[in-house]
């Protein structure tokens, strides 16, 4: 206290009695001084803002106010559908740059790997792209629909499976069929004789009759799905809400010529206009999924069986295509890719779920339905958090140095299963299979995968892990049976989650 007072008085004294400068200053010194000031100001002004400089006033280095950047790739000059992407990125501190510049994130609306092949094969460790090369195996309608998976309505590729189709149609006289094209959405139920069997890039699909209806309206549901890694697979779904789109015309009396009664168009009926859902969605502020679930319970049914099927279908679909995608990925150096898709489903009267399609770049425009803006921005927020585009740590992705990375996820967070590792001597030799999750035995890329997986788990926001599968009951979980049919790498990652889950059950799901 006393010392402080003394100091204070010292300072005051200086203020009160400044030294009086009596010597005269030559005019040219003043001129040189002024010139220096002006030149310094000019140089500081002209310097690019992104470099470190010494601030003479405070005697310290000023670090650049650098911001992370993103670029957009898309064929359409109209960017209305990217409005919410731009908004969310701006809020996360991102600045948009031209495609040819250096960027941290590439947001591509169209599949970018044909046009930008060389650049995307040569990503730096800090760059990330919102598509996975080869994801077309999932999102191509013909490829997907003509798979033999139980949850896909029966479909035939034209013209190659023409004979199979005609046989099937003959055996199932009550079946109805729609013809679909890869590129556009013209769908209409047609009699078999009116189907163009020669048309290429199309397929015929059996129409699911007796759909589950809400107030008489058929609907489809869109679940947002994100893939963050392939081989081993890391797959999540967005749980904050689900997009429900109702047909604008009642389904019965059924009339195959009235397409608006069974195909969801751009002008669909939103949840807030479906009479029985208004009270849940508007008055009680439920979301689309909760409003629907409440309606299903009102009909004395259990909606949870729908969501269990949905998760299973998403998992099976992506697993069925994983090895094909992995094949494409082999020619890429860095695997900083993620894929945000929307899987569209329909439900029949018995609450059986069918997968209709998977969309590669789901439309995130709220142009037509303003209330969807919140849904889209929340999805993006969760997705960016999960993949590390948004960060609580300031700076561009490349400035997040080793220490910063370690602060988020280090070897100690990744290590697991310590007793088994020592029992099999994995701290000395790695030849036992039991060692393949022990830290000294991991390859560099395996270690990176586990670090990324760990970081995703920490930042998953409203994303729920779908693969590796959540472990609901660790005590009764048979890990050997679980991994029995998996690829080696998927089994490896599934085990890692299992061991993490045994240590701490926040890792089970
Ligand atoms: C079926 O729908 C079409 C197109 O909306 C309409 O022209 C036709 O009259 C309808 N048929 C019946 C029987 O209602
Ligand atoms: C996206 O949706 C908006 C409004 O719902 C629509 O106007 C636009 O045409 C759609 N864009 C694409 C590329 O489908
Ligand atoms: C693995 O495959 C076998 C044979 O196809 C099957 O019986 C078994 O149920 C499968 N196990 C799992 C966990 O899917």
Taking the centre of ligand 1 as the mean of its atom positions, its distance from the CA of residue 225, in whole angstroms, is 38
Probe residue for ligand 2, chosen from 74, 76, 79, 80 as the CB with the greatest number of ligand atoms within 8 Å: 80
Helices 488-503 & 444-458, crossing angle to 10 degrees? Answer: 50
pLDDT of residue 15: 43
Structure tokens at 450: 């586990």
Residue 104's nearest CA partner among 77, 74, 70, 80 is 70
Phi and psi torsions of 229, nearest 5°: -160, 150
pLDDT digits (tens, 9 = 90+) for 82-138: 999 999 999 999 999 999 999 999 999 999 999 999 999 999 888 999 999 999 999
Query: 257: Cβ below 6 Å to ligand 1?
Result: yes
What number is the average pLDDT over the span 450-460? 96
pLDDT of residue 402: 79
Residue 131's nearest CA partner among 324, 334, 339, 333 is 339
Cα 344 from Cα 34, distance rounded (Å):
70
How many other CB atoms are there within 10 angstroms of residue 242's CB atom? Answer: 24
Judged against a pLDDT cut of 50, whether residue 485 lies above it is answered with: yes
Q: Which ligand is nearest to the CA of 368?
A: 2
Taking the centre of ligand 1 as the mean of its atom positions, its distance from the CA of residue 301, in whole angstroms, is 33
Taking the centre of ligand 2 as the mean of its atom positions, its distance from the CA of residue 243, in whole angstroms, is 15
Cα 238 from Cα 461, distance rounded (Å):
9
Residue 190, strand partner residues: 177
Cα dihedral across residues 143, 149, 155, 160: positive or negative: positive
Banded model confidence at residue 322, pLDDT cuts 50, 70, 90: very high
What number is the average pLDDT over the span 300-314? 97
Query: 484: Cβ below 6 Å to ligand 3?
Result: yes
Banded model confidence at residue 21, pLDDT cuts 50, 70, 90: very low
Judged against a pLDDT cut of 70, whether residue 158 lies above it is answered with: yes
Cα 349 from Cα 329, distance rounded (Å):
41
- DSSP state for residue 153 in the 8-state scheme: P
Q: Which ligand is nearest to the CA of 259?
A: 1
- pTM beyond 0.85: the answer is yes
Percent of the chain predicted with pLDDT > 90: 73
Q: Which ligand is nearest to the CA of 362?
A: 2
Probe residue for ligand 3, chosen from 484, 490, 491, 498 as the CB with the greatest number of ligand atoms within 8 Å: 484
For the chain, give every domain's residue range: 154-206, 406-507
pLDDT digits (tens, 9 = 90+) for 26-56: 677 767 767 776 666 665 555 554 556 666 7
Cα 428 from Cα 16, distance rounded (Å):
74
Taking the centre of ligand 2 as the mean of its atom positions, its distance from the CA of residue 338, in whole angstroms, is 23
pLDDT digits (tens, 9 = 90+) for 125-140: 889 999 999 999 999 8
pLDDT of residue 17: 43
Give the position, in ligand 3's atom list, of the atom nearest the Cα of 481.
13
User: Which residues make Cβ contacts (< 8 Å) with residue 232, sequence separation at least 6?
Assistant: 449, 468, 487, 489, 490, 492, 493
Mean pLDDT of the chain: 89
Cα 114 from Cα 168, distance rounded (Å):
38
- Give how far Cα 471 sits from Cα of 58, 291, 298, 465, 475, Å: 56, 28, 30, 10, 10
Query: 478: Cβ below 6 Å to ligand 3?
Result: no
pLDDT of residue 64: 57
Taking the centre of ligand 3 as the mean of its atom positions, its distance from the CA of residue 483, in whole angstroms, is 10
Banded model confidence at residue 24, pLDDT cuts 50, 70, 90: low
What number is the average pLDDT over the span 20-31? 61
Give the position, in ligand 2's atom list, of the atom nearest the Cα of 76.
13
pLDDT of residue 343: 98
Atom 13 (ligand 2) nearest CA:
363
Banded model confidence at residue 403, pLDDT cuts 50, 70, 90: confident
Banded model confidence at residue 141, pLDDT cuts 50, 70, 90: confident
Probe residue for ligand 3, chosen from 312, 467, 482, 485 as the CB with the greatest number of ligand atoms within 8 Å: 485
Query: 363: Cβ below 6 Å to ligand 2?
Result: yes
Taking the centre of ligand 3 as the mean of its atom positions, its distance from the CA of residue 145, in whole angstroms, is 23
- DSSP state for residue 259 in the 8-state scheme: G
Atom 14 (ligand 1) nearest CA:
255
pLDDT of residue 197: 87
pLDDT of residue 12: 42
pLDDT digits (tens, 9 = 90+) for 223-264: 999 999 999 999 999 999 999 999 999 999 999 999 999 999
Query: 185: Cβ below 6 Å to ligand 2?
Result: no
Taking the centre of ligand 2 as the mean of its atom positions, its distance from the CA of residue 80, in whole angstroms, is 8
Banded model confidence at residue 11, pLDDT cuts 50, 70, 90: very low
Residue 359, strand partner residues: 342
Answer left, alpha or beta for residue 164, where phi above 0 means left and psi between -120 and 50 means alpha: alpha
CB 182 within 8 A of CB 145: no
What number is the average pLDDT over the span 272-277? 98
Taking the centre of ligand 2 as the mean of its atom positions, its distance from the CA of residue 181, in whole angstroms, is 19
Judged against a pLDDT cut of 80, whether residue 341 lies above it is answered with: yes
Probe residue for ligand 2, chosen from 363, 364, 366, 376 as the CB with the greatest number of ligand atoms within 8 Å: 363
Taking the centre of ligand 3 as the mean of its atom positions, its distance from the CA of residue 347, in whole angstroms, is 26
What number is the average pLDDT over the span 417-444? 94
Banded model confidence at residue 10, pLDDT cuts 50, 70, 90: very low
Structure-model confidence comparison of residues 51 and 319, the more confident one: 319
Taking the centre of ligand 3 as the mean of its atom positions, its distance from the CA of residue 40, in whole angstroms, is 74
∠ CA 2-8-14 to the nearest 5 degrees?
140
Taking the centre of ligand 2 as the mean of its atom positions, its distance from the CA of residue 212, in whole angstroms, is 27
Phi and psi torsions of 496, nearest 5°: -60, -45
Judged against a pLDDT cut of 60, whether residue 62 lies above it is answered with: no
Q: How many residues does the chain have?
A: 509
């Amino acid at each position: 206290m006393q010392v402080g007072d003394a100091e204070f008085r010292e300072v005051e004294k200086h203020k009160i009695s400044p030294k009086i400068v009596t010597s005269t200053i030559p005019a040219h010194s003043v001129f040189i001084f002024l010139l220096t000031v002006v030149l310094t100001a000019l140089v500081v002004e002209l310097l690019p803002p992104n470099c470190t400089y010494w601030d003479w006033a405070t005697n310290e280095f000023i670090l650049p106010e650098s911001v992370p950047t993103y670029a957009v790739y898309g064929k359409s000059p109209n960017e209305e559908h990217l409005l919410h992407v731009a908004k969310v990125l701006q809020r996360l501190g991102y600045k948009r740059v031209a495609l040819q510049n250096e960027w941290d994130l590439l947001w591509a609306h169209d599949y970018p790997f044909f046009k930008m092949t060389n650049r995307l094969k040569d990503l730096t460790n800090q760059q990330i792209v919102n598509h996975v090369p080869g994801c077309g195996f999932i999102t191509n309608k013909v490829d997907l629909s003509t798979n033999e998976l139980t949850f896909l309505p029966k479909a035939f590729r034209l013209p190659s499976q023409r004979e199979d189709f005609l046989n099937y149609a003959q055996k199932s006289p009550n079946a109805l069929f729609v013809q679909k094209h890869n590129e556009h959405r013209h769908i209409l139920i047609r009699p078999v004789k009116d189907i163009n069997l020669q048309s290429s890039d199309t397929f015929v699909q059996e129409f699911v009759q007796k759909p589950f209806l809400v107030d008489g309206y058929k609907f489809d549901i869109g679940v947002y799905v994100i893939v963050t890694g392939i081989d081993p697979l890391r797959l999540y779904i967005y749980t904050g809400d689900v997009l429900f789109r109702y047909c604008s015309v009642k389904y019965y009396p059924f009339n195959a010529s009235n397409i608006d009664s069974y195909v969801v168009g751009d002008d669909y009926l939103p949840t807030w206009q479906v009479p029985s859902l208004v009270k849940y969605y508007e008055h009680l502020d439920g979301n689309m999924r909760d409003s629907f679930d409440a309606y299903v319970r009102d009909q004395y049914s259990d909606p949870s069986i729908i969501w269990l099927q949905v998760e299973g279908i998403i998992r099976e679909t992506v697993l069925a295509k994983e090895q094909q995608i992995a094949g494409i990925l082999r020619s890429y150096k860095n695997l900083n890719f993620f894929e945000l898709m929307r899987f569209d489903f329909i439900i029949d009267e018995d609450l059986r779920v069918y997968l209709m399609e998977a969309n590669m770049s789901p439309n995130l425009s709220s142009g037509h339905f303003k209330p969807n803006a919140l849904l889209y921005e929340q999805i993006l927020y969760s997705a960016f958090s999960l993949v590390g585009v948004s960060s609580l740590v300031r700076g561009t992705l490349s400035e997040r140095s080793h220490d910063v990375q370690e602060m988020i996820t280090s070897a100690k967070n990744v290590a697991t299963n310590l007793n088994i590792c020592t029992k099999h001597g994995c701290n000395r030799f790695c030849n036992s299979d039991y060692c393949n999750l022990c830290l000294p035995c991991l390859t560099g890329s395996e270690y990176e995968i586990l670090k990324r997986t760990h970081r995703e788990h920490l930042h998953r926001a409203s994303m729920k892990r779908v693969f590796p599968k959540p472990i609901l009951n660790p005590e009764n979980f048979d890990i050997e049976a679980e991994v029995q049919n998996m690829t080696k790498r998927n089994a490896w990652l599934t085990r890692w989650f299992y061991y993490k889950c045994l240590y701490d059950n926040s890792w089970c799901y």
